[in-house]
Structure 1
Amino acid sequence: MKLLLLLVLVAVAQCRVFRAPLRRGKSLRQSLQEHGLLEHYLKQHPYNPATKYFATRASTEPLQNYLDNEYFGTISIGSPAQEFTVVFDTGSSNLWVPSVYCSSPACTNHNRFNPAESSTFISTNDSLEIAYGTGSMTGILGYDTVTVADIEVLNQIFGLAETEPGDFFYYVPFDGILGLAFPSIASSGATPVFDNMMKEGLVAQDLFSVYLSKNGQSGSFVLFGAIDPFYTTNGITWIPLSAETYWQITMDSVSIGEEAVACSLGCQAIVDTGTSLLAMPNRALGPILSTLGASSNGEISCEAVSSLPDIVFYINGQAFPVPPSAYVVESNGYCILGFQGMNIPTESGELWILGDVFIREYYVIFNRANNMVGLSPLP
């Protein structure tokens, strides 16, 4: 979401009014029950108080895959419910949607929240301002009932956008953003949605997990309060967080083939569902492009893709490969690497962003109970 390929931006611009409907998500229990599979599954996976996997407090939010570039689902706000599509973003912490107070073109092109039509809305005088890697918003804060999947969060604070300057949010096929990072980086001190879910005991476990599909296919989801064992058959590697801000971890090194090409002395990275690409420090991008035989803007011969090596991220002593099928984007006969150079300094050095290009290769578990990220190679 924050870092976009030029060719994908063009595609989004051409499809500026595309906003496919998406129904509010059902819980895992509801989905299995509708297909007559619940009884069998309960026999195969009996309820275990230690894991609480099948507690009714585990709920699935399906995500729509838009061009392998953005993943968004539907939530509702207010009484009666007003529906919005939002990106579930582990790289930010605020929930906001456009409001009727906003006259920016980006707002008028999307669903807008009307507080006058909600009997449970509570206004505040507090303001909100957020700048992303691409796009920004300003607005005010309010409280209302927010429903995510089948989880109803009462008195959730959220932003009502009053301005969305520029073109970026005009062209995107979603309305707003639901941040899933830590309260420490929430603008205006707003409590994130998942923190309220945990505080109110609305999830079985203090974690959520994410699966992002490839090639525009369906099936992507965020699972709140549980880990789906279907996606962890290859085991889970647990990685401790290095900071409780973003979902930030320490990487050991980055290699291509047997050669370490970057991060040789260790570096910091965040696992970010809201970033489309793999973002890295500018000084690391050049050597990686050169090693792969790409031009300075990331273009590469499509004929060469089949012979490209994996890029391997070493994290917590384990290797996490990303194959060329994941990091090369092909469109209309042109191929480009899904990398972006940018400098984001931290106390421990420059930051890498493991965005959707990386996440599509792994089932990712974001564990707030133990402040860890779990990675399981997808089958």
Structure 2
Amino acid sequence: MRIHWRSVCSGPAEADMVRLLLLLLLCPYTSWALLRVPLRRAPSIRSQLRANGQLQDFLRDHHPDAFSRRYAHCFPAGTPSLRLGRSSEKLYNFMDAQYYGEISLGTPEQNFSVVFDTGSADLWVPSSYCVSQACALHKRFRAFESTSFRHDGRTFGIHYGSGHLLGVMARDTLKVGGVTVLGQEFGESVYEPGATFVLARFDGVLGMAYPPLAEILGNPVFDSMMAQKGVEAPIFSFYLSRRSSGSGSGGGVDGELVFGGIDEALYNGPITWLPVTAKGYWQIKMDSVEVQGVSSFCPRGCQAIVDTGTSLIAGPTNDILILQQLIGATPTNIGEFLIDCARVSSLPRVTFILGGMEYTLTAEHYVRKEMLADRELCFSGFQAVDIVSPQGPLWILGDVFLSEYYSVFDRGQDRVGFAPARHPADH
């Protein structure tokens, strides 16, 4: 949690000057336990494809779930790490997500931009040996320049709807948010096909889910931070700006990730906590989903993933198609759902009931407005994604939801907390 220097440094007024100076010198170090990573938001890959007139061709030429992803190993049967039984559950969007921050790997440091993704548990960046066009347009890890690099020897594969990501495993020193992690396992991608990687503003992905979700054997980054006592508390928290606000908490950034605690200046009211129901994703129970105050979906409860790596809110196909009708969204021939911009102010509220608390989104929150040439288009912030789990179909609370609610992920007590996010327009 946040430490105030007064609670550590208070003492009698008559304390001798040397002792006082020592305390004052030591006090600033206590705040280092809160590690802040500024997050930036770039135009989504969908909007870039759409602006370039490439979206329809891309969706036609690739799998219908081109913007969803499924992790799966791509090596012959018998490979020790082949676990196909799990990969069938790992289907959701992250390529459209464009909140990213900076990390460094190696000695001396090599900097990369990554998506901090609570929906996965692996860290990967492009390798200098990568042969794909996407790698040529992004920063690449040069293992031969790092004195702390350790070759692993294992290979890994990630299957996306639009192609495969293949690579080799490694270990090196990682720095993120002011903390150093020694010997962190990560992947060096050597093959990144697909237009989405070419357009992505980020170089790689840093997964922040539970270890069972990892395809790369070894500790995920936050587990390494905890094991090496790099954070004061086993907690991290996200603030994501609204698209319309232009910037986030200050300094021109669009969001903030805090390792080791929370930032009380970025939310209003108390945090409401929900227990994690399955330790893979950050999975919680959702009581129901209401449209304009009427319970419409999963009235007997269902499961939801809290995922910073998904840009929209996703749910089972049948439910989402009904929801699109209820908010007046109409399908297009490129897989998008359009809304009449003139009707946005009259559209119904959509409320998610979590732990008995109501989390309401107005149309201004769930409608995405984008400019195409000189025309404003309004798109639904909901998408259909079918994920089967032992607990039933899963919903995904992505960035459309998380930009309205500050989110806290507590590994110590296996729970997720929400509070209304404090945006500049709220002051």
Question: What's the TM-score once normalised by structure 1's chain length?
Answer: 0.85
Residue number among 131, 151, 155 corresponding to 2:183 in the alignment: 155
1:364 partner amino acid: S
Compute the displacement of 1:101 (Å).
1.5
CA contact (8 A) 2:157 2:165 kept: yes
1:62 partner amino acid: P
Residue number among 136, 142, 162 corresponding to 1:108 in the alignment: 136
Compute the displacement of 1:291 (Å).
1.1
Measure the CA separation in 2 of the matches of 1:233 and 1:335: 29
Any idea what SS the aligned residue of 1:158 has? strand
Compute the displacement of 1:109 (Å).
1.1
CA distance change for structure 1 residues 276 and 235 in 2, over 3 Å: closer, same or farther?
A: same
CA distance change for structure 1 residues 82 and 261 in 2, over 3 Å: closer, same or farther?
A: same
Match of 2:263 in 1: 228
Q: 2:126 matched to 1:98?
A: yes
Measure the CA separation in 1 of the matches of 2:9 and 2:201: 39
Q: 2:103 matched to 1:75?
A: yes
2:398 partner amino acid: G
CA distance change for structure 1 residues 180 and 235 in 2, over 3 Å: closer, same or farther?
A: same
Measure the CA separation in 1 of the matches of 2:192 and 2:364: 35
Match of 1:328 in 2: 367
Match of 2:354 in 1: 315
CA contact (8 A) 1:212 1:221 kept: yes
Any idea what SS the aligned residue of 1:189 has? coil
Q: 2:317 matched to 1:270?
A: no
CA contact (8 A) 1:99 1:113 kept: yes
Measure the CA separation in 1 of the matches of 2:326 and 2:254: 34
Compute the displacement of 1:262 (Å).
1.2
Q: Deviations over 1:230-252 (max 9, x none)?
A: 13431100000110001001101
Compute the displacement of 1:264 (Å).
1.5
1:279 partner amino acid: A
Compute the displacement of 1:134 (Å).
6.3
Question: What's the TM-score once normalised by structure 2's chain length?
Answer: 0.75
1:356 partner amino acid: D
Residue number among 391, 394, 417 corresponding to 1:348 in the alignment: 391
1:58 partner amino acid: L
CA contact (8 A) 2:162 2:194 kept: no
Any idea what SS the aligned residue of 2:131 has? coil
What percentage of residue pairs aligned between the two structures are identical?
41
Q: Deviations over 1:90-121 (max 9, x none)?
A: 00000000001211111111000010000000
Match of 1:168 in 2: 196
Measure the CA separation in 1 of the matches of 2:162 and 2:155: 21
Q: How does 1:286-297 map to 2 (within 5 A)?
A: 286-296=321-331, 297=336
Match of 2:113 in 1: 85
Measure the CA separation in 2 of the matches of 1:376 and 1:47: 31
Any idea what SS the aligned residue of 1:306 has? helix
Any idea what SS the aligned residue of 1:120 has? coil
Aligned length: 337
Compute the displacement of 1:285 (Å).
0.9
1:243 partner amino acid: A
Q: How does 1:1-379 map to 2 (within 5 A)?
A: 42-43=5-6, 55-67=31-43, 69-132=97-160, 136-215=164-243, 216-217=246-247, 218-296=253-331, 297-332=336-371, 333-379=376-422
CA contact (8 A) 1:310 1:323 kept: yes
Measure the CA separation in 2 of the matches of 1:158 and 1:259: 46
2:154 partner amino acid: D
> CA RMSD of the aligned region, Å?
2.1
Match of 2:94 in 1: none
Measure the CA separation in 1 of the matches of 2:310 and 2:181: 26
1:162 partner amino acid: V
Compute the displacement of 1:364 (Å).
0.3
CA distance change for structure 1 residues 133 and 46 in 2, over 3 Å: closer, same or farther?
A: farther
Compute the displacement of 1:275 (Å).
0.6
Q: Deviations over 1:40-68 (max 9, x none)?
A: x634x7689xxxx9542211011111137
Compute the displacement of 1:227 (Å).
1.2
Q: Deviations over 1:105-153 (max 9, x none)?
A: 1111100001000000000111111235666411011100000011000
Measure the CA separation in 2 of the matches of 1:141 and 1:201: 24
Measure the CA separation in 2 of the matches of 1:269 and 1:199: 28
CA contact (8 A) 1:47 1:55 kept: no
CA contact (8 A) 1:234 1:378 kept: no
Any idea what SS the aligned residue of 1:84 has? strand
2:5 partner amino acid: L
Q: Deviations over 1:264-316 (max 9, x none)?
A: 22111101001111111101011111111221342111011011122100011
Measure the CA separation in 1 of the matches of 2:391 and 2:9: 42
CA contact (8 A) 2:122 2:216 kept: no
